[in-house]
Amino acid sequence: MSDAEQVLEAMRTAGAPLNAGKVVELTGLERKAVDKAMAELKKSGQIESPVRCYWAPTA
């Protein structure tokens, strides 16, 4: 499973918008890897920011 897939799965499982720090905590990935994965997910439209600095999967 790629870092991006792990990040997306953690967000789906949480059921609420998460910030990068919480994603790091849930996945065990390094912050740099989470930031890169979130950038990929944002660019591809798979996550969105309903509240500043928090992210959730798109519907």
pLDDT of residue 29 exceeding 90: yes
Its pTM stands at: 0.91
Could you tell me where the beta strands, DSSP code E, fall in the chain? 47-51, 54-57
CATH number (domain holding residue 30): 1.10.10.10
- When divided into structural domains, the chain yields a total of 1
List the domain range (segments joined by +) for residue 14.
3-57
Q: Is the pLDDT of residue 13 over 80?
A: yes
Mean pLDDT over each residue of the chain, to the nearest integer = 97
Pairing of strands 54-57, 47-51: antiparallel
In angstroms, the CA 11 to CA 50 distance is 13
33: left (phi over 0), alpha (psi -120 to 50) or beta: alpha
